[in-house]
Structures are given as C-alpha cells and as structure tokens.
Chains A and B, each alone.
Chain A
Amino acid sequence: MSDTNKPYLRCEGLSRAFVKKLDLAGRIARSLGSNLREERVQAVDSVDLSVMPGEVLGLVGESGCGKSTLGRMLCGILPRSEGKIYYKGQDIDSLSAQEIKNYNINVQMIFQDPFASLNPRKRVRNIIGEAPLFHKLTTSSELDDYLAKVMLRCGLDPSYTHRYPHQFSGGQRQRIGIARAMAVQPECLVCDESVAALDVSIQAQILNLFMELRNELNLTCLFISHDLGVVEHISDRIAVMYLGRVVEVAPVEDIFNSPFHPYTKALLDEVPRLDRRGVDFTPLAGEIPSPLDPPSGCHFHPRCPHVMDICKKEAPVDMEIAPGRRACCHLATMR
C-alpha cells in the first residue's frame, strides 16, 4: 500500500468536451458565409479532485452534470480532452506499458444498468472469468475454484456459472457485475449509479455488500449517485457537481451538517427523508440549464438565492474554506 497521505487517484484540470461536427450541408452553408457553428457540450470542465487510498468518495449531482463522464475518464475508459490524471502520484501519460496495465486492472468500474452491462450471449463463467484468465491471475484448470471464491464473496451461488444473465433477477445481475469487477482483485472501484435501478430491499443488500467488500479488502471507491441518502450512508467524503464543475468537496458530516455552497444547500433541502413528515415542499426554482449553452460566470447564478453582480460575470475559483473543505463560490472569497 502506498503512503496514506498521497491520493490514490487525482485529476487536475480534467475536462471533456463532446463536439457534434457539422454535416456536409452545414459545412457548405458555413463556407457560403452562414454563422453555423459546431455544437459543443462541455461535459466536464476543468475538475480537480483527489481520491485518497481506502476512502469512499461520493460524487453527487443532477443528471447531465457530468458525473458519469468524470468517473469514466478516471477509469481510463473515456479519453480526456484536457487535463492530467495521476495514479498513485504518477501522471498516467508517463507510465510504462506494464504500469498502465496495472492501472487498468486496479481501477475497475461497476455500471448502473445490470441489464445493459452484461453480455446476454455469454455465460456467467465467461463474464466473470474472462478477465482473470487473460491477466493470468488464474489458470484454466483452477478457474472453477477461483470463480467459486469470487462468486461466494459477492453473494452468488457458484453452481450458477453456466447460466446466462437473463436467468437472474436485477439484484443478482448487479452482483454479477460486481463479481466481474472484483475478479481481477482491484484496489479501486468506480461505481456509477450502481444501485439506482434496484428496489429498496435489494438496494440495501447491494449497499451492504459494498461496505463489506470495502472493509475487508480496504478498497478505494468513487461512488457516483444522484441519491443523496445512499451517498450519505456509504461515503467518507462527498463532492458535489453542477454543470461540469465540482462546486463543493467536504467530509460527509460537514456537508450534511453545514453545507456551504448554495447549490449544496438547495440539493440537501430537497432530499425526502423518512423522518420528514407532512413537509411543505419548497423547491429550488428553475431547472439545470442546457450544457450546450451554460450561463456565464458561475453556472449556478440563475437559480442561486444569493446571486450577486460578480456571479454573472466571473466564474468563481475553487478555494479552501476550512481544513479539508473546498468550495467554488464567490461567497467564499467575501468571507
């Protein structure tokens, strides 16, 4: 294990833009002098974030804020537009081929939809067993024992190895997805909305499994979700994203007891809870703006109750507001 003060994964100025190229007619129109432009979505906009070894970092935000894109880039399955990713303190651009391979094995992803992320034409044995065989973590003669161990660990009956994904329920399929990621003995999991599609009782089973795995194997985890209740339950630290930018990062107690950023406050007020009865719902006005045409300055200013003139002109910078807490808001500079 590396030094505990060094982040396991860190990104600096990480950005990703999706560009829709003009079609032929558009290009002709532009050469004739029309002002058609390529459509550009800045899904992730210069994000600095670090995940410490052994911690669970929760990443929350509304749909379309870029949290999945960020997770995919950190996993290395989506190319970056700009910025750097550091794996155990080393820039991944400078890693050797062997180190890249280690990074790819050690950082695994678990996806949202257990129905779409498993190949329907492969048996469980191949789904879970392919990667460890390829990476020579086991041999084909020992594969059965190896699979049995992994599947038991993830709460699956090892006698099911010859079944297909469609023969399982949603909760079990999610366990197969987890077993597939765990089969290569990773150090870090990126879970993208991994419990969003499940019923409450099944969700509880999967969350418990995550927590057990994490405690036993000292896993590092980036847990992406839109469900604040779930994130609060499982995370050590929380990062809140809004329209491609991280607006606040803080330990879980701080963020729930004294949120700083107006967006975080608004988001927390909206969370329905079991102990909140007969609530007068007072919603945050407006909707998340289109990322095709984000507002100027601070992206949150059209919905912010504390909006000032400066917010419309200048984007706030990320700054430390307390030890271990960062926020990106003009209110922080004014204190």
Chain B
Amino acid sequence: MSTPLLEISNLKTHFFTRAGVAKAVNGISLTINKGEVVGIVGESGSGKSVTGFSIMGLVDEPGRVVGGSIKFKGRELLTQSVEEWRNFRGNEVAMIFQDPMMTLNPVLRIDTQMIEAVRTHEKVSKAEARKRAVEALAMVGIPSPEERVKAYPHQFSGGMRQRVAIATGLLNRPDLIIADEPTTALDVTIQSQILSEMQTLCRKTGMSLMWVTHDLTVIAGLANRVAVMYAGKIIEEGAVEDVLDKPLHPYTEGLVGSVPSKNHRGEPLYQIPGMTPSLINLPEGCSFRMRCPKATEKCHCEPPVTETANGRRVCCFHPNL
C-alpha cells in the first residue's frame, strides 16, 4: 500500500468559549487516497466544516487543534511553521467555501486576485499567470474567459461566482480540494452544472475531493466513499453503496429514512426524535443515545469502533449487522 494522500488520526479541535469547551471535532480518523471522492455528511453543528478548516490550518480563536495528527503525503501538518502553512494552503490543498464571496475580494478584479494566487506559490511572469487564470476559468465552463477575467465579482451571478472560486482553487493544481457545501445556496440546475465540472476535473486530473455537505442525495451521486459525522465524531464510514443502502448506525439509518424519496410518496417520513445535543454539554458515552431507538445501559460508555469488510467502520454498540 502506498501512503494515502491525507491521513487524519484522532483529530480533536475544540473551541474554548466563555460558556465552556465546545468539542466541535472530537477524535476523528479519516484517510483520503489519491483520486478519491470522499463525502462528509452531517447536520449543522456536527463538526464537518471545522474538520475542513483544521486540515487547512484555518481554525480561528477561540478554537484550537488540541490533539491528533493530520498527515499529508506522509508529512505531519500540525507541527508546520507559519511559513510552511502558507506554502501548503492553496498550493497542495485548496478549499472552496459555501459563499463564494468569502473567497473573492469584492473590490478587486478577478484577474488581479487570480494572478496574485498564482504568483504567491510560483515564480512566473504576470502574462503567464494571467494565461493560467484564463485556462482555469475555461476549465470550469465560464464563457469567453478572456473578457470575463477582467470583471469584478459583483458582475457575476451566484453560480458563476462559485465557478470563479473553484477556478481560483484549481490555479496551483492542488492534489486535494476541500469543498465545504459549495452548492447549497445554488439552484438545482446550477448545482448540477458545478457537480458535473468537479466530476470531470477529478477524472481528468486525478485530483482528490473532500465534499462536505448535509445533502445525502448529492453524495449519493458524486462520492466513492462517505463518512457520517454526528456531534464531532465520525459514526459511520464506508463505500457509498454500503452506507446508504445498508446503514449500520441508527443515526445513518434515520438520516437516510428522513430523505423524501419516490417510493414513499405521501407517507410520513422517518423522524429522528429530539435535537442535536449542545457541543458544550455532550452526554457521556455515545452522544446519540438520547435520540437512539436502540439505546441501552451499555451506551453510557464510549462505543467501540467495529470494522467490517470493504473498509467499513461503525461506532456503535448495536450496529445493524
């Protein structure tokens, strides 16, 4: 086995707020191989975005990575110097955010921003950098990129802005792209255009993709593997077909059941009772036990991780095996 592209083990990112310590990411382990599309699914507050931020070294105060390790191509990231982080970010791993205006500066033209992104990491002439920018815009399907590159972000529509953000991410040909809900705010037709571009790019360039979303249906169509997060932990992980067709964890089962689908038109949807617990005040043991139909006395202790065939892992005392 060659070294995986990204190897996260027992990562813990906590936020030290006045009200207490919020354990946003509480000991997750995940590997991403070259060319793989991995989906991270979870509801709001499950820690899926913070996982992405931790990999990029973008966790802000009062948050801190307090434990674990993140290895990229075998190299430890968490002990890097500030300088090394700068070289790493945008060059080897790029991140796309939900709101493209988080990536784009509203007062600078697209070309200024994209040329700057290229020249930060590579010594090339401005003309060469501009050529790369135009190529990247063409790659994500922006019509007449030579002219559009001179526009300001507000002159683009939402879907186009997201493409510009993706193109900016692609400039330095990263090995991994972390996409944090990039299509959540977009219409279905535009979402499908973006998904199609990303899919083609991954197949063409062998780039890996970590797709963070709350939408199981997008993951079903796009990803090879999926990790389900709940209250800062990965509670189930495996190939998309396995996890969505035969979920092992009661939470995954509930999630899949609560998605409206063709076969159950008009019937009541499955409801997961209760709400996500506060990250500051997590229950002892399994954090899902308050809402779990299968919970027993045992669940007051930390549930074990069971590994089954095909790289599948589940973190539960009562998996549907």
- Residues of A participating in the B interface, judged by any CB pair closer than 8 Å: 62-63, 169, 171, 199-205, 207-208, 211-212, 226, 228-230, 232-234, 252, 256, 266-267, 269-284, 287-288
The answer to whether B192 and A270 have CB atoms under 8 Å apart is yes
Which of chain A's residues have a CB closer than 8 A to the CB of B191? 270, 272
Task: Point out the residues of chain B lying under 8 angstroms from A230, CB to CB.
Answer: 260
A275–B221 alpha-carbon span in the complex (Å): 8
Give CA–CA (A211, B268) in the complex, Å: 7
A233 to chain B, nearest CB (A): 3
B188 touches A267 (CB 8 A): yes
Report the bound CA distance from A272 to B196 in whole Å: 12
Q: Chain B: how many interface residues by the 8 Å CB criterion?
A: 44
Establish whether residues A201 and B188, one from each chain, have CB atoms under 8 Å apart when the complex forms: no
Q: Nearest CB to that of B159 among chain A residues?
A: A287
Chain B residues touching A, majority SS: helix
Is the pair B216, A200 in contact by a Cβ cutoff of 8 Å? yes
Contacts of B262 in A (CB 8 A): 232, 256, 273, 275
Contact across chains for B221 and A229 when beta carbons are under 8 A apart: no
A267 touches B189 (CB 8 A): yes
Known interface pairs A201-B43, A270-B192, A274-B220; A229-B187 also in contact (CB < 8 Å)? no
Task: Contacts A171-B275, A201-B254 given; indicate if A281 touches B261 (C-beta within 8 A).
Answer: no
Given A171-B275, A199-B44, A207-B260; A266-B189 close (CB under 8 Å): yes
What are the residues of chain A within 8 A of B270 when measuring CB–CB?
204
When chains A and B are docked, how far (Å) is the Cα of A204 from the Cα of B257? 9
Q: Can you name the residue of chain A whose Cβ is closest to the Cβ of B195?
A: A281
Which A residues are CB-close (under 8 A) to B257? Answer: 204
Are A203 and B258 interface neighbours, CB within 8 A? yes
A277 B192 Cβ-Cβ under 8 A = no
| The 5 A-B residue pairs with the shortest CB-CB distance in the complex, in nearest-first order | A233-B260, A204-B258, A281-B196, A279-B221, A272-B217
Flag if A283 contacts B261 (CB, 8 Å).
no
Contact between chains at B221 and A276 (CB < 8 Å): yes
- Beta-carbon contacts under 8 Å, B216-265 to A: 216-218, 220-222, 240-241, 244, 254-262, 264-265
Closest to A236 in B: B266
In the bound assembly, the distance between CA atoms of A202 and B44 in angstroms comes to 11
Let me know if B220 and A273 touch, CB within 8 A.
yes
Tell me if B190 counts as interface (CB < 8 A to partner A): yes
Look across to chain A and name the residue whose beta carbon is closest to the beta carbon of B191. A270
The 13 listed contacts between A and B (C-beta, < 8 Å) are A204-B260, A204-B272, A226-B188, A274-B217, A274-B220, A274-B261, A276-B221, A277-B244, A279-B222, A283-B193, A284-B193, A287-B157, A287-B189
Q: How far is the CA of A288 from the CA of B272 in the complex (A)?
A: 37
Question: By CB atoms of chain A within 10 A, which of B216, B265, B270 has the most?
Answer: B265
Given A256-B262, A275-B220, A287-B160, 18 new contacts (CB under 8 A): A169-B275, A200-B214, A207-B260, A232-B262, A233-B260, A233-B266, A267-B189, A269-B192, A270-B191, A273-B220, A273-B221, A277-B220, A280-B199, A281-B196, A281-B221, A283-B192, A284-B189, A287-B189
